[in-house]
Amino acid sequence: MSKIKAENVNVYYGSKQALFDVSIDIAEKEVTALIGPSGCGKSTFLRCLNRMNDVIDICRVEGSIKMDNLELNSRKLDVVRLRENVGMVFQKPNPFPKTIYENVAYGPTIHGIAQSKEEMDQIVETSLKKAALWNEVKDRLDEIGTGLSGGQQQRLCIARAISVSPEVILMDEPCSALDPIATAQIEELIDDLKKEVTIVIVTHSMSQAARVSQKTGFFHLGKLIEFGSTDKIFKNPDKQQTQDYITGRFG
Amino acid sequence: MNLILVTFIILLAFTSYYFGRKKALVIQSSQRLTALPKFYGYYLAAWCAVPALIIFVLWSVFEPSIVKTFILQDYTDQNLTKNELQLIYTKVKALAAGTYTGNITNFLDESANKYIQLKGIANSAKVAIILAILIFSLSFAYRSVQKNDRMREPVEIFLKWVLFVASLGAVLVTIGIIFSLLFEAIRFFQAVKIFDFIFGTHWYPAKTFVRDGQPDPELMKDAFGAVPLFAGTFFIAFIAMCVAIPIGLLSGIYLSEYAGRGVRKYAKPIIEILAGIPTVVYGFFAALTVGPFVKEIGNAMGLEVSSESALAAGAVMGVMIIPFISSLSDDVITAVPQNLRDGSYAMGATKSETVKKVIFPAALPGIVGSILLAVSRAVGETMIVVMASGLAANLTMNPLESTSTITAQIVVILIGDQQFGDPKTQSAFALGISLFIVTLFLNVIALSVVKKYREKYE
C-alpha cells in the first residue's frame, strides 16, 4: 500500500535545478532506500517529504507529493502537524545540549501530547526502549545528551524522532558518522521500527541499502534512474547506469 | 642629528638586505644554499640594524643624566638641595639653547658653555661608536654569509625575539600602570583609613582643602567615603543594562534568526554605528536632549526631577551599549550549530519554540559573557555621567535625582588645580584601582563563562 506518492517533483536552488521530474511511490511500513553518488539529489528529495527545504531561503519545490492523499507541497499545509507525523534523523547525531530525558520529551512537549508527568515518563521510557537505548541510559536520564557516544547519540535522536509516534521516519545517512558496531545496532533498530512506521533512508553504503531496505531508488544527477524492489535493483537492474553504480564502476 | 643617524641605519639595513640576497645568488652558482636567498638578506639586515639601534637607544637614555652629572659637579660644594640643583640645570640648558631670559651670572655662562661642549663631544662620540658598531657587526655577518653558514635558524630565532620583546613590552606597561595606581593608592590609604574609604557614606573631598598645612584628620575621616560612588556607579550601570539587555538581546535574536539576508546586511552595520559614536557625543545628547526631556515629563507628572538625573545618563548609556550586546549575542546565536536548529524544526517546533527552547539555552553562556562585558563597559563609562548625571555624590536610589560615579569623580578630582601628595589627588588613584579591580573581576568571570561555552561545542 502506498504511503507517499511523489509526482514530477522538481527542486531548484536559486536558478540551479537539483531534482528533475522525480516520481516515486513509497510503500507503507517498508524501508525505502535512496542511493546514488554525492550531490545526486537524494537528500534534497528526502527533505521535501517533511518540508525541511522551507528552512533554505533560495530553495523552490514544484510538483506534487501526496501522503495519504494530503498534498504536502502546498502553502496551506500545516508544517508543524506534518513534521509531527514525519520524523527525521540526520547524518550527524544532533541531540540538544539538554538532558537525555529532555531530549526525548522535546517533541511531546511542543505538541502537547503528554497530559501528566507520569504519561511523559511513560513516553520517554517507551521511546528509549524502542530505540534500544533504555538499558544503557535508564539510570542517567538527567545527564546531558551530548555526553553520550556517537552511536548512543544517534539512537537518542531516533528515540526523539519516535517519541511523537510518527507514521514516517526519514533518515539522512544516519550511520555515516558511526563505527561498524553502532551501525549494526542502528540497522537492527530500523528493522524493528518498520513494523510500525514507514522508513525512507538515504545512504551512501550500498551494502546497507541491500541489508535494510525492501525498495531501492537510484538517483543520479538529480534524476531518479531506477526504482524497484531492492532484490531486483541489486541483482538484475534494468538500467545500465544502475548496474554500473551497484558494481562500483562509477560513483 | 638623531633623525639622520636613525635614517642612515635603517637605509643601510635595507641596502644590506638586497646586498645579502644578491650575495646568496652568487653563492648559489657554486654551492647549495642553506636557506632561501631572502634569509641571507634578513640575516644581514638584522645584524646591521639591531646592534646599532640598541646602542643608539641606550645612549639616548643615559646621555642626559651623564651630562647632568658632569655639569652639576661644579655645584657640589654649594650645599644645594635637589630641587635647587634641578633648577640650575634647567637654567643651564635654557641658556645653552638661547631661550633663557633671567639674570646671567658668570657661573651660569661657564656651565652653559661646558654644556654645549659636552653635548658636542657626546654627539661625535655617539656617531663614531655607532659607525664602528655598524662596521663591526656588518663585517661579522657578511663573513658568515660568505661562509654560507646556516641562515634559517638565526633569522627564525631573531623573529621569535622580536615578537617576545613586543609582548614583553605590552605586559610591562600593564604591570607598570597597575603598580603606579597601587603605590599612589597606598599613600592615600596612609592618610585615610581603608575602612573609612570602603564603608564611608560621604564623599566630599573638597572640604579637606586647607591652605598651607595639614587638613584636620576628623574632616578627612568623613570626606572620602566611597559608598555613594560605588552605589552611583552600579545604579547607573543597572539603569543602562535595563535599557540595553532587552533591546540588545531581542535585536540580536531578530538579526540572527528572523531577519532576511537583505535586512541583516543593512541593519547590523547600522546598529554597529551606535558603537562608533564618540561617548562625548552621547554625553551632550544625554545632557542637552534626554535630561531636559526627562525633567519635563517628570514635571508634567508632578514629580520632582533634577535636570541632571541618573535616569537620563543611564538610559543614554544603555543606548550606547546596545550594539555590544546585540552584536555579540548575534554572533553567539549564529554560532549555535545549524544541525540543532534542523533537529528542532524536524520535530515540528516553530521558530519561536526553537529559539526559546534550543537556541537560547545553547547560546546562554555566550550571551551572559557578552552581558558581563557590557556591564564592565558601563561601569567604566565616564563622559556620559560627567555630562548628564551631575557631579554631586548623592547616596540615592532615586533615578530622578542626580548622582555620581567613580569615573566621574576621578575626572572632578583631576581637572583644574591639584597638588601632588594631597589626599584629594591621591584619592583618584584609590578610586582608579577599585574600579580596575571591579572591571577585572567582571571580565574574568565573563571570559571564563565564554570559555566554558566554547568547550561545550568543541
pLDDT tens digits for range B406-428:
888 888 888 877 676 677 888 88
Taking CA atoms, B10 is separated from A70, B16, B17, B39, B154, in Å, by 80, 10, 11, 18, 20
- Out of B339, B345, B361, name the one closest to residue A92 (CB): B339
Domain locations along chain B? 2-149, 151-188, 220-457
Tens digits of residue pLDDT in A181-193:
889 989 999 999 9
- In the predicted model, residues of chain A with pLDDT beneath 50 are none
β-sheet with A59-67: strand ranges across = A16-27, A2-13, A59-67, A70-71
Q: Which residues of A touch B341 (CB under 8 A)?
A: 55
- The answer to whether the CB atoms of B347 and A97 lie below 8 A apart is no
- The answer to whether the CB atoms of B347 and A96 lie below 8 A apart is no
Question: Would an 8 Å CB–CB cutoff place B340 in contact with chain A?
Answer: yes
Tens digits of residue pLDDT in B136-188:
999 999 998 888 888 889 999 999 999 999 999 999 999 999 999 999 889 88
- The answer to whether the CB atoms of A94 and B342 lie below 8 A apart is yes
- The answer to whether the CB atoms of A111 and B361 lie below 8 A apart is no
- The answer to whether the CB atoms of A87 and B347 lie below 8 A apart is yes
Coil vs helix vs strand at A247: coil
Query: Confidence band (pLDDT; 50, 70, 90) for B455?
Result: low
The per-residue pLDDT for B453 is 66
Answer for the pair A140, A100: CB distance below 8 angstroms, yes or no: yes
Tens digits of residue pLDDT in B202-238:
888 776 666 555 666 666 677 788 888 889 899 999 9
Query: At the topology level of CATH, where does A2-246 sit?
Result: Rossmann fold (3.40.50)
Coil vs helix vs strand at A26: strand
| CA distance, residue A41 to nearest chain B CA (Å) | 18
DSSP of B261-280: HHHHHHHHHHHHHHHHS-HH
- The answer to whether the CB atoms of A88 and B346 lie below 8 A apart is yes
- Alpha-carbon gap, residue B88 to A235, rounded angstroms: 108
Q: How far is CA B49 from the centre of its chain?
A: 30
Taking CA atoms, B79 is separated from A183, B72, B84, B87, B331, in Å, by 95, 12, 10, 14, 68
Residue in A169, A3, A191, A24 with CA at minimum distance from that of residue A90: A169
Residue in A129, A110, A189 with CA at minimum distance from that of residue B347: A110
The per-residue pLDDT for B411 is 87
Answer for the pair A218, A35: CB distance below 8 angstroms, yes or no: yes
The per-residue pLDDT for B209 is 62
DSSP, res A164: T
Question: Would an 8 Å CB–CB cutoff place A14 in contact with chain B?
Answer: no
Tens digits of residue pLDDT in B361-400:
888 888 888 898 899 889 988 888 888 887 777 887 888 8
Interface pTM (ipTM) of the complex? Answer: 0.91
Q: Which residues of B touch A160 (CB under 8 A)?
A: 343, 347
Tens digits of residue pLDDT in B66-102:
888 888 887 877 777 888 888 888 888 888 887 877 7
Q: Which three cell numbers stand for residue B170?
A: 605590552
Q: Tell me the pTM.
A: 0.77
- The answer to whether the CB atoms of B348 and A110 lie below 8 A apart is yes
Answer for the pair B384, B240: CB distance below 8 angstroms, yes or no: no
Query: Confidence band (pLDDT; 50, 70, 90) for B458?
Result: very low
Give which of A84, A101, A106 to mutate to test B binding, by max B Cβ within 10 Å: A106
Question: Would an 8 Å CB–CB cutoff place B375 in contact with chain A?
Answer: no
DSSP of A127-153: HHHHTT-HHHHTT-TTSBGGGS-HHHH
A to B CB pairs, distance under 8 Å: 67
- The answer for residues whose C-beta is within 8 angstroms of residue B233's C-beta and 6 or more apart is B379, B405, B406, B407, B435
Question: Would an 8 Å CB–CB cutoff place A232 in contact with chain B?
Answer: no
- The answer to whether the CB atoms of B347 and A107 lie below 8 A apart is yes
Kind and range of the H or E run holding A18: strand A16-27
- The answer to whether the CB atoms of A97 and B361 lie below 8 A apart is yes
| CA distance, residue B339 to nearest chain A CA (Å) | 6
Share of chain B above pLDDT 70, in %: 95
- The answer to whether the CB atoms of B348 and A90 lie below 8 A apart is no
- Alpha-carbon gap, residue B138 to B17, rounded angstroms: 11
The nearest alpha carbon in chain B to A110 belongs to B349
Question: Would an 8 Å CB–CB cutoff place B353 in contact with chain A?
Answer: yes
Question: Would an 8 Å CB–CB cutoff place A56 in contact with chain B?
Answer: no
- Alpha-carbon gap, residue A48 to A200, rounded angstroms: 12
Stretch B333-343: mean pLDDT, rounded?
91
CATH hierarchy code of domain B220-457: 1.10.3720.10
